[in-house]
Amino acid sequence: MDLRLTGKTALVTGATAGIGLEIARTLAAEGARVVITGRDRAKLDSALAAVKESGGSDIAGVLADAASAEGAAIIARAEASVDILVNNLGIYESKAFGDISDADWSHLFDVNVLSGVRLSRTYLPGMLERNWGRIIFISSESGLAIPQDMIHYATTKTAQLSVSRGLAQLTRGTNVTVNSVLPGPTRSEGIEAFLRSQASDPSAPIKEVEAEFFATARSASILQRMVEAEEVANLVAYLASPRSSATNGAALRAEGGLVNTIA
């Protein structure tokens, strides 16, 4: 299926690895001009090379911390307007509620919530003026099913859903849409260390560790396995395309290729 992304410019934050990198690859392969952001020059250059290797021909990188007001300003100067904004930048950690400091709360909100707020505030007016655009927040199933050891992370993901839904209300009657994607646990850099930190036997083979995680911590999962980053990217590419014109204000749970409309 042609997703009709040729000629569109997409900005993807946190795209030097994991889900963000796969989203950038997929959008570029579909013909979009892709701009990715990153804080580390070496990682940014490596990601740009990876996107080129996968077939992307029109890509650019912006060296900036999208989680800071200064970084958002750098991005806005580098790209005055975009057609598609993918607010993917995010971090997570497992920590007992009593050990989560004020600084921890503030840091996760800066990275996971305010990064998307600032860039949406920058680019939404232009989308409305041109009467076309896509804003996509990469949230998490944790925004609805709150893990007891990640309450601060889950709260930021719930906040993203509120921001996304509120912005969608501002697009009423236009060809601009704002949606959220809620992946389950996704295979990416650092996930093995996280799974082992949850395991009864951290030294067990990774397949056993993963199976235990889904049997205990994610027993409600339908897939009972890690989601692959490219599976999330495929859903994002569809939402970014003109073909998703009737999908607005939705929170879509991504478990592999299956999607459940939540809102």
pLDDT of residue 57: 77
pLDDT of residue 184: 78
CATH number at 9-187+228-254:
3.40.50.720
The alpha carbon dihedral of 179, 182, 183, 188 has a sign of positive
Which residues, given as ranges, of the chain have pLDDT below 50?
256-263
Q: Which residues are catalytic?
A: 153
pLDDT of residue 118: 98
In 3D space, the residue among 136, 147, 156, 141 whose CA is nearest the CA of residue 222 turns out to be 141
Task: Give 2-54 pLDDT, tens digit per residue.
Answer: 999 999 999 999 999 999 999 999 999 999 999 999 999 999 999 999 999 87
Domain ranges of the chain: 9-187+228-254, 188-226
- Helix 206-216 × helix 191-198 angle, to 10°: 60
Query: What is the DSSP code string of 202-255?
Result: TTS-HHHHHHHHHHHTTTT-SS-SPEEHHHHHHHHHHHHSGGGTT--S-EEEEE
